[in-house]
Amino acid sequence: MFDALADRLESAWKKLRGQDKISEANIKEALREVRRALLEADANLQVVKEFVSEVEKKALGAEVIAGVRPDQQFIKIVHDELVEVMGEANVPLAHADTAPTIVLMAGLQGTGKTTASAKLALHLRKLERSCMLVATDVYRPAAIDQLLALGQQINIPVFEMGSDADPVEIARQGVERARAEGVDTVIIDTAGRLQIDQDMMAELARIKETVQPNETLLVVDAMTGQEAATLTRTFHDQIGITGAILTKMDGDSRGGAALSVRQISGQPIKFIGVGEKVEALQPFYPDRMASRILG
């Protein structure tokens, strides 16, 4: 992943080598390469523009540091800016003062939402936080079965009311059950559609309004690239998200999605999905991601 981006930057760095300071003339080409690379990595155009202009400001204003090659200084500026855009440090999952912590999972179908719900439950249990999963996707009967199977696999209870019940009611009763049983965190898996539609958004809004979650996590498929920007904007505007999980980071995704989510919503990516297995979830670290982007 990010190999193409790293190669691009590599050629940009070469242009800076041999120059004894960062000047307007010699960073122009490097900035062009950064821009091109990020666009090729499927980052959103607006996000890239803002990013590059910020890097330019910082590069031009940078004091020349004795003994540090300008290309290295430029790399550091790009790296630091990437880290800043993606959120500085890992932001852990909220933990409510009074149990249960309520986590609402949102996103399109096929992004890995159901898998991510189970992954998150397993991750939290390893931190000694007991969990319950709630199946509200009544439109795809297979979705309830899928969550039940995952729950069984990791030994986490799944609350469901079949596919005839109202999703809002399932969510409400699921939270009630979790509260009654003293469960630490309840994770609500919701229905996704292949495309954003108003019914889906309205239902999600009603679930959110009813259960008042501590976290509303948008599950974003890293492979969707540019689309991640529109998706983030729509969900954040209409529902309000508190963070995101970027899935399928084990694939050959170009990673541009990582840049868009935080820049557009102001909310952090909290975890990345790195495989189909239920253990394949890792906390998101902006500095690691930036280093990967720079190769």
Residue 224 binds ligand GDP (CB under 6 A): no
Which 3 state secondary structure label does DSSP give 53? helix
Taking CB under 6 A as the binding criterion, the range among 67-75, 88-96, 207-215, 274-282 that sits at the site for ligand GDP is 274-282
Query: Cα(132)–Cα(143) distance, rounded to whole angstroms?
Result: 16
Is the CB of 192 or the CB of 286 nearer to ligand GDP?
192
Among 133, 156, 220, 280, binds ligand GDP (CB under 6 A): 280
Residue 268 binds ligand GDP (CB under 6 A): no
Query: Cα(186)–Cα(194) distance, rounded to whole angstroms?
Result: 25
Site string for ligand GDP, 159-198 (x = CB under 6 A): ---------------------------------x------
Query: Cα(119)–Cα(140) distance, rounded to whole angstroms?
Result: 20
Residue 110 binds ligand GDP (CB under 6 A): yes
Residue type present at position 33: E
Is the CB of 132 or the CB of 281 nearer to ligand GDP?
281
Residue 157 binds ligand GDP (CB under 6 A): no
* Count, residues near ligand GDP per rule CB under 6 A: 18
DSSP code at position 102: E
Residue 274 binds ligand GDP (CB under 6 A): yes
Token pair listed for 282? 């890792």
Count of CB atoms situated within 10 Å of the CB of 278: 18
Residue 276 binds ligand GDP (CB under 6 A): yes
DSSP code at position 63: P
Taking CB under 6 A as the binding criterion, the range among 83-91, 110-118, 206-214, 225-233 that sits at the site for ligand GDP is 110-118
Residue 295 binds ligand GDP (CB under 6 A): no
CB within 8 Å of 143: residues ≥ 6 apart = 114, 135, 137, 189, 191
Site string for ligand GDP, 236-265 (x = CB under 6 A): -----------xx-xx--------------
- 53 touches 39 (CB < 8 A): no
Three-point CA angle 282, 269, 168, nearest 5°:
100
Interacting residues with ligand GDP (CB under 6 A) = 107, 109-115, 192, 247-248, 250-251, 273-276, 280
